[in-house]
Amino acid sequence: MNQTIEPPQAEADSPWMSRAAPALQWFVLLAVSAALIGTLELAGVPAALLIGPMLGGIAMGVSGATARVPLPAFSVAQGIIGCLIASSVSADIFPLLYVHWPPIMGAVLATLAASSFLGWLISRWRILPGTTALWGSTPGAAAAMVLMAGAFGADQRLVAVMQYLRVIIISVSASLVASLWVDTTQMSRPDIVWFPVPDALGLTTTLGVAILGSQLGRLLRLPSPFFLGSMILGMLLHLGIGLDFDLPQWLLGMSYALIGWHIGLGFTRPVLHHAMRALPQMIGSIAALLIFCGALGWLMSRTLGIDPMTAYLATSPGAMETIAIIAAATHNVDMSFVMALQTARFLLVLLVGPPLARFFARTVAA
């Protein structure tokens, strides 16, 4: 009697990369990311060290890769970026915020209102359930929004898709705008020294602040604890006692790559399939928010007299860490102003997000 033996369905249907050894997955990820970084660098795109690994991670994630950035490495990477932001903040920004707080707070509130309205429309039209669209549309640290969404009954998978899709679209668009807006022929680009003479004390201090700040952020239960914890501690030390951080290019490059991989590898095939039906509406809402924030940036540039690129990045709807990396990689941008507005908006989201979610849940259910 002939008997047909069928292969296991799960094994046959599983993406090919999921069956590869972890070492092979990381080798392919490194190779793909290096090729993308080289291409973006040749094209003159800022933040290529972030966007290249991010795109490489997406390609691997949808191919079924199971590799993930270890949490300790990811926490230190965010801590290093927090130190980078802390070192760029000067006391000169506070008088500016004091003098111009009405337009700055107006821009923050307008961005929050626009994102909330778009989220309400998507929920009202039953494109996404409950408060999922609200948390997915809210600008801020993507990981923090995903975690907060779970506490309010939203579908974390769809929130993650919306948040990270916005991160990618805004990262690429902001980088392209930076490369097109800034006249690179009129500026002298310093030669990048990847491996300078090591400053053992400075490097140890920087790593110490990144690690200690990350752990303090977790103990204090801050949202996006690794980034915010190290940034707050770094700012206190930098502004309080004048501490300078040693941030060699190789350390920043590794941190950018780890963050990019973390974002990209989150795009697994099941998550994308789950959100595919709502993808056009998601992209439309992201585009609308991007245009709205771009108009706010233009208005702020005209009213405050700051350069257009600084205003554009300051009003760009996050994620905060990604905008920080792009701003750091773009010449002649006022990093302090960008991060002041981004941080103010993020903190406001943390304050009003929970009650706003409850209100929207009652409104949509009505």
pLDDT band at 278 (very low <50, low <70, confident <90, very high): confident
Give pLDDT tens digits for 10-66: 444 556 677 788 889 999 999 999 999 999 888 766 667 887 898 898 889 888 888
| Distant-in-sequence, close-in-space partners of 135: CB < 8 Å, separation ≥ 6 | 119, 145, 146, 148, 149, 152, 154, 159, 163, 353, 357
Mean pLDDT in the chain?
A: 78
Cα 54 from Cα 258, distance rounded (Å): 9
Residue 35 has what pLDDT? 95
Cα 152 from Cα 361, distance rounded (Å): 9
Residue 160 has what pLDDT? 73
Give pLDDT tens digits for 225-267: 888 888 889 988 888 887 888 888 888 889 989 988 988 888 7
Residue 112 has what pLDDT? 86
Cα 266 from Cα 275, distance rounded (Å): 13
For the domain 23-182+199-365, what is the CATH code? 1.20.1530
For 78, the token pair is 């965010």
- Average pLDDT over every residue of 88-102: 73
| Distant-in-sequence, close-in-space partners of 199: CB < 8 Å, separation ≥ 6 | 246
Residue 116 has what pLDDT? 84
Cα 341 from Cα 108, distance rounded (Å): 7
DSSP code per residue over 245-300: P---HHHHHHHHHHHHHHHHHT--HHHHHHHGGGHHHHHHHHHHHHHHHHHHHHHH
Residue 366 has what pLDDT? 56
Does 9 have pLDDT greater than 50? no
Distance between start and end Cα atoms, the chain: 63
Give pLDDT tens digits for 177-233: 766 655 444 444 445 667 676 777 878 888 999 999 989 988 887 766 888 888 889
Does 316 have pLDDT greater than 90? no
Residue 10 has what pLDDT? 41
Cα 257 from Cα 68, distance rounded (Å): 13
Residue 92, judged by CB atoms within 10 A of its CB (0-12, 13-18, 19+), counts as exposed
Lowest average pLDDT, out of 48-52, 114-118, 123-127, goes to: 123-127
Residue 177 has what pLDDT? 72
pLDDT > 70: percent of the chain: 78
- Average pLDDT over every residue of 268-281: 76
Contact 294, 107 (CB under 8 A): no
